[in-house]
A and B are shown apart, each in its own frame.
Chain A
């Protein structure tokens, strides 16, 4: 009976579907955190499979920094339309206007950390008890310690030293009112797995992932796209390059790489030969050795 085994992508898919169904069964009001990046698109695709022929039984939630790639927003609206699910938007601009957070100052100011407040406010006001994310353990050393079901206290904080043990495939999502969970169905996927799966399933992703001509400026070892939010330093100059993005975050901090990869096949080939981690082009992670851990403790994605 040796033919009865799954290949690695099928096993990862099955595991993720199992987690998504556990979330649905154990929580009253879950959402998928949707950024428009490939990982949250993948989670959404897996959720579609998990509940088929029913619709995805919970909303998508987008934390909108206001510093978006226009392509991302268009893609988000299309996918919502296609799936027929509800979209919840938490707006960082509103949090700023309401005085909940203050814009960062200085040369490398971003709205990255401000998202934490907006995210936690949106979770609280929508009474969400589980936010499903596309975080992967191979991304970063603090993420390597994440559980599939990850507890957040009533301040939305993560306590990495005091996590619930997770054994076999038994997940404990019990919580008190005001607390919530984060669930990470693709914890065990690597960047390469994600691309191989997107290629295999032919999943639609934003055009930003494919090589295209764009106005960019060289900053912190990567090509930062020109946008309304970009403030040029005196020595910097805008040039046009053929680039693509490996990850998508705020337009202000997401660096592109020079590339000719304009199909999923070429992207998968390119990624398999990469010698830099994908978050190497994210200036939000370069701030300190524990930048991600510090943000995650406060309630970051």
Chain B
């Protein structure tokens, strides 16, 4: 593996029947990421269950309950590497009752694979997965039209699905959508080019994942540095060192840059950017570094260092697309802890503007009771200003979670409009 190889995170959403587990099993198997003892275990289980041959779907088996019920309940992460890239798959269940798990898996993904059964075309589940990919602003969407073997590898069937998909996807905000006809079961166009579909000129799935351009996925314009903690060694060699530790959320910082500390508004210049024993000239997302400034300013966790000529908006009233994650619905006028980057304040949901009907993607203005898995547009008021960007501009400084202080549980995740 080469030293400049990148990491690509992608999510797959799907249910038992659309071949998601088989596709993942196929990717792992054909890229030789499966070990002999794992294969042996799967062969034994396949035999025990009376399957013909090796059931690749068993590779994605997880917890005891999931094995017993034959379903994915929670997000599971899987890993494989090719000579070109390292991949992390967030494998999520596809059924409507697991919307929250899909949202979780989608939150860090560069790409989403959406599986469509060639026989059934675009169904409600396809729309739901595409909507989540759009809502979470996954930069690249790959629609895999699966089970092509069951429609005689017909180009017409493939084109029909594309037309159906494009009809509704024009309403979504995804900039890069690709279509690939595959058979996960037989391996057509997954790792190797299919011999059964000469009419398809594009690349197989793995090649697409290996070569797709992802360096531009992170916002390179708006320099944002949420401070996680302050490093004050107070040892002989670094007596006066005061480093602001954090991970660059977006943009580029350089030594000498004029910066403003939010929310205090104090300004200074970057004196050094340190990564362990190395002094760097610049830092960009997603690097973890320690920044020192020319001036002694009171800065602590929750503050944000930004470039003075490009500042986020300090706001207390937010409009948020909110996914409710918890079994218990919100209590009226309840206060929650809100987390935004390293900042934490209190917040209240002032108003539910509308709820998304996730089956039709329409807006429901009448039913405003938030239940688990609901996605809705809400108005939130915070006790102190947060330094935000819109989620569309910046996935890190545009996202929040809500925590119920009576249980300490994470109850909602939101994308700032």
Contact = CB atoms under 8 A, between A and B. Distances in A.
Interface of A: 1-2, 4-15, 17-18, 21-22, 24-25, 48-55, 137-138, 141-142, 144-145, 160-161, 163-170, 172, 174-176, 187-188, 190, 192-193, 196, 274-277, 280, 289-290, 293
B197 interface: no
Given A144-B78, A160-B63, A277 B408 contact: no
Contacts of B400: 170
Given A12-B7, A54-B233, A172 B286 contact: no
A144 B399 contact: no
Contacts of B78: 138, 144
B390 interface: no
Contact of B413 (A54, A55, A167): A167
B408 A8 contact: no
6 contacts: A54-B233, A161-B74, A166-B104, A167-B104, A167-B410, A193-B86
Nearest to B327: A162
A53 B400 CA distance: 31
Max chain A C-beta neighbours (<10 A), residue from B104, B229, B233, B284: B229
Given A141-B76, A289-B41, 16 more contacts: A4-B252, A6-B286, A7-B6, A10-B287, A50-B288, A52-B277, A54-B231, A54-B233, A160-B74, A165-B413, A168-B399, A169-B247, A174-B403, A188-B88, A196-B1, A293-B64
Contact of B107 (A50, A54, A167, A275): A167
B276 interface: yes
Contacts, number: 183
A11 B241 contact: no
Interface residues of B, number: 81
Q: When A and B form their complex, which 4 residue pairs have the shortest distance between CB atoms, in order from nearest?
A: A54-B233, A174-B408, A17-B288, A8-B7
A53 B286 contact: no
B5 A8 contact: yes
B232 A54 contact: yes
Contacts of B63: 141-142, 145, 160-161, 290, 293
B103 interface: yes
A8 B86 contact: yes
A5 B215 CA distance: 6
B61 interface: yes
Interface in B254-292: 274-277, 284, 286-288, 290
Nearest to B32: A275
Interface of B: 1, 3-7, 35-38, 41, 61-65, 67, 73-79, 81, 85-86, 88, 100-101, 103-104, 107-108, 214-216, 218, 220, 228-229, 231-235, 237-238, 241, 243, 245-247, 252, 274-277, 284, 286-288, 290, 301, 325, 337, 339-342, 395-396, 399-401, 403, 405, 408-410, 413
Nearest to A171: B339
A161 B65 contact: yes
Contacts of B340: 170
Nearest to A277: B35
Contacts of A138: 78-79
A50 B245 contact: yes
A142 B231 CA distance: 36
Contacts of B85: 8
B286 A161 contact: no
B400 to A, nearest CB: 8
A187 B237 CA distance: 34
Nearest to B39: A275
A21 B413 contact: no
A161 B107 contact: no
Nearest to A190: B79
Given A4-B252, A50-B288, A138-B79, A172 B7 contact: no
B216 A53 contact: no
Contacts of B276: 48-49, 52
